[in-house]
Amino acid sequence: MDIKVLGPGCAKCQQTEKVVKEAVAEAGVSSTVEKVTDIRKIAEYGVFGTPAVVVDGDVKCVGKVPSKQDVKKWISKQ
């Protein structure tokens, strides 16, 4: 599973990356978590704001820090 956390790098983006990594570890799912900080690459996803989370190419949330519960739901459905 390929997970991307989109965000140039502020407290919310860092928190999102932390939440995602914790959720992945707790769920025991095999995946890569990549932080995308380049604005041009972020823009390619068509998101209105950051942070944003993308799971296997599917944008799951935009503009907010997701809950760990939500992240686990997303990764369990893949």
Partner 1 sequence: MENKCCAANNEVMILACSGGSNVGQLSNRAAVELTQEGLGKMYCLAGIGGQLKGFVQSAKDVPVIAAIDGCAVGCAKAILKNAGIQNYNYIVLTDLGIEKNKNFDLSDEDIIRVKNAIVAACKGPNVGAEAGKFSRIVGCCG
- Contacts with partner 1 by CB under 8 A lie at 7-10, 12-13, 39, 42-43, 45-52, 57-64
H/E stretch holding 44: none
Q: How far is the CB of 9 from partner 1 (least distance, A)?
A: 6
Residue nearer to partner 1 on the CB measure, 28 or 46: 46
Residue nearer to partner 1 on the CB measure, 26 or 38: 38
Query: Other CB atoms closer than 10 Å to residue 66's CB: what's the count?
Result: 22
Active-site residue flag, 10: yes
Tokens of 62: 């935009």
For 19, phi then psi, to 5°, come to -60, -45
Residues 78 and 26: their CA atoms lie apart, in Å, by 16
Active-site residue flag, 61: no
Question: What residues are annotated to the active site?
Answer: 10, 13
